[in-house]
Chain A
Amino acid sequence: MAQAAIELIGINKSFGAVRANRDINLEIGRGTIHGIVGENGAGKSTLMSILYGFYQADSGEIRVGGQPASIKTPNDAIALGIGMVHQHFMLVDNFTVLENVILGAESDALLKKSIAKARSELERLEREYGLEVDPDAIIEELPVGLQQRVEILKALYRGAEILILDEPTGVLTPAEADHLFRILGQLKDQGKTVVLITHKLREIMAITDTVSVMRQGTMVATRETAKTTVEELAELMVGRRVLLRVEKGEAAAGGVKLAVKNLTVKDTRGVTMVDDISFDIRAGEIVGIAGVAGNGQSELLEAISGIRRAVSGSVMLDGKPIDLTGAADPGELRDRGLAHVPEDRHHVGLVLAFEENENSILGYHDDPRYLRGPFLNIDAIRNDARDRIAKYDIRPADCRLKTANFSGGNQQKIVLAREMEQDPGVLIVGQPTRGVDVGAIEFIHKRLIAMRDQGKAVLVVSVELDEIRSLSDRILVMFAGRIVGERGPEATEGELGLLMAGIEHQEAAL
């Protein structure tokens, strides 16, 4: 290995009783791309936050370029040439690109001089790394791919030699992700060190030189990427063998359960987000909707589940119309056998401050089963909750625990259990495994397929292309509010990626 850019020696960090990092040792070679993988909560982000001076380790040593370093604030990290591109961009949305780049690194007390200097420096960086972006554009008017480029420019402007990227591809189209990887390759060629945090193993295999795996706060292995496999990495992450692709039989699709015709939905700003969409879902099949986030999937879900009023269009549930442009509300839809697992479980699916058992009846609280006269039948509710905890393997198995204290995967299981146990005819699921760890993903996927095999109609919306491909019997691709193509599960990632980017759909139609 080349000389180490960063060495972490015996890093420990606890938050209260939780040991986020235990005895971490890591060495990252100069001029390499080093991947760090691990499940949510494995401690990857904490470790990188320590390196960037956001937190301080309880014990341990950091060496940068062979020299012991004390990193107490992001400023110290920046001074040592460490730059970070955060998962949620740290940009001021209504500032220009230039203003964002100089923020905190202004060369002068007056803006005029700082901006002039930054402008020429940005031009140089653009030429050197192929990072074109209009310096006077307002951030919120740029697509996410370009916003991310601004984050990279910010780090380079501050003289970063070591660039940390936290889950950089979550918001990108496959094409944008490829472009990002080309940029990272270029940075490496110029001698920069890149640290890539991700849970997408394929990215690790495609771009990194070395990879480290974290599990439950410990560093369990470091491998040369060329000498490992996706299967080995997945097993190291979870600590047991995992099925990356669920096994499933042929779908036995029956009659149409849900028929959507010419549905148009506008968002709160009045922008048309779903534009004249039509599709059917049959009993016994899973239909997946693929697309980059923000192409109308959220609004489609909200309209079908009765949360957002549609502008026009007709929807038939079991052959009978539901009035999504007017009177329909989620309660009526639930009564008619349409269950909905919302995309945003924290704000729509759960009340985090409630106990688990209270959340497990949310929306079904006026079911006679849970009532005793005008009062809630607490025993019945808790008994039901305990049954579901056992059946869906929700951990910890405590129905009195505050929901906020469950992990993302277990929170998702609480919502899934609530909706699936109503035995609905149609199940609509938004982002079934967002923020859910690998082990729970496998479980959730199996349950969804079991629903299908019981003859339910299932609609899955996900930005994870892998998930769509492994679950769906039919795949619809959404772009700019329209369905731009339908494919079978055998469709390649490249093909879907092009559809998702909105290019070539003319060509694909030929």
Chain B
Amino acid sequence: MDVFNAIIQTLDSTIRLSVPLLLACLAGLYSERAGIFDIGLEGKMLVGAFAGAAAASVFHSAFLGLGMAILISVAFAMIHGFASITHRGNQIVSGVAINFIAAGSTIILGQAWFQQGGRTPALQPGERFEAITLPGAEAIRDVPIIGPIYAELLSGHSILVYLAFLMVPFTWWVLFRTRFGLRLRAVGENPAAVDTAGISVAWLRYRALICTGILTGIAGAYLSMVQNGGFVKDMTAGKGYIALAALIFAKWKPVNAMFACLLFGFLDAASIRLQGSPLPIIGKVPAQFMQALPYILTVILLAGFIGKAIPPRAGGVPYVKER
């Protein structure tokens, strides 16, 4: 039963660790499907995390915090849009710049406002998103197998966790079942076709970036208001880049994205769980190796060993009307 509990706990932390990846990955999916590479997911998550925790602790409201996280993250997405859509700048440079601005400004503002070394004050109950207990979870907790799966694994997460997983079918539906999704996918493949069809390429791409900003905002809020009780400097710790790796791994498809993020989340959870304790047969696995696995897997994928990852064809290329 110990092994079973260990597995349940690992899977439970897999879910918790996957959520920020999943939200950021879906965020990247909207912008990259529209033809805008976004290496600035990391930075947008970070400003979202900061804005969320800061607003929540000042206004004593978790939902105000979430709203502020989304607002600031969308604002940063618009900066990326202004540079790369309106002014046709290099999308990678713009994204990297956003990451730097985010890393620097969150620390400076945090120190200026709260004088806690770049942290925000620890969030009090009511300022954080609390765990939700699903109906009946306590009643069946003691039922073997099903009880722990329901009560531990599925129940007891914050609302943002459920929201993140609901975003998967929702994103699929938006992309493949709505007019907006058709146009968004088209603009990532051949913006000239969209332009000649009488649709504004720029406005369409801005709207895709707004979706991106909303989702990275939620991802950031999750980090500072659910996983942690406040903002800590550089708390995204590369999650934006892992999310990008997951996006490639998922071949830019929403359901695949969920599985890729769960896989990467699992690797993270396993590396924490296994810290110091040897595995049967293999022996001790260095935690660094587990942390590097997402990147290693992505490189293997890109090298063509696991099928082919074909990015949206117009990705990274600013749209210029041909003469």
Contact = CB atoms under 8 A, between A and B. Distances in A.
Nearest to A76: B198
Given A15-B323, A54-B321, A86-B196, A104 B183 contact: yes
Interface residues of A, number: 32
Interface residues of B, number: 23
A93 interface: yes
16 contacts: A15-B323, A54-B321, A88-B192, A90-B190, A92-B185, A92-B186, A92-B189, A93-B189, A99-B182, A102-B182, A103-B193, A104-B199, A106-B182, A111-B176, A111-B178, A111-B179
Interface string B167-181: 000000000111111
B273 interface: no
A-B residue pairs, 9 tightest by C-beta: A104-B197, A75-B198, A90-B193, A74-B198, A106-B179, A90-B196, A92-B189, A92-B186, A104-B199
Interface string A99-128: 110111110111110100000000000000
B197 to A, nearest CB: 3
Listed residue (A54, A92, A93, A106) with the most chain B CB atoms within 10 angstroms of its CB = A92
Contacts of B192: 88, 90
Contacts of B181: 111
B196 A84 contact: yes
Contacts of A262: none
B209 to A, nearest CB: 20
Interface of B: 176-183, 185-186, 189-190, 192-199, 313, 321, 323
Contacts of B189: 92-95
Contacts of A77: 198
B180 A91 contact: no
A203 to B, nearest CB: 23
Contacts of A74: 195-198
Instruction: Name the prevailing secondary structure of the B interface residues.
Output: helix
Interface in A38-76: 46, 52, 54, 73-75
Given A54-B321, A91-B190, A95-B189, A109 B178 contact: yes
Contact of A110 (B179, B185, B186, B196): B179
Interface in A15-32: 15
Nearest to B190: A92
A112 B196 CA distance: 23
B309 to A, nearest CB: 14
A109 B313 CA distance: 25
B201 to A, nearest CB: 11
B81 to A, nearest CB: 21
Given A108-B179, A110-B178, A111-B179, A100 B198 contact: no
Given A74-B197, A86-B196, A103 B186 contact: yes
Contact of B198 (A46, A88, A102, A104): A104
Interface string A149-169: 000001000000000000000
Interface string A305-326: 0000000000000000000000
B180 A109 contact: yes
Contacts of A52: 196
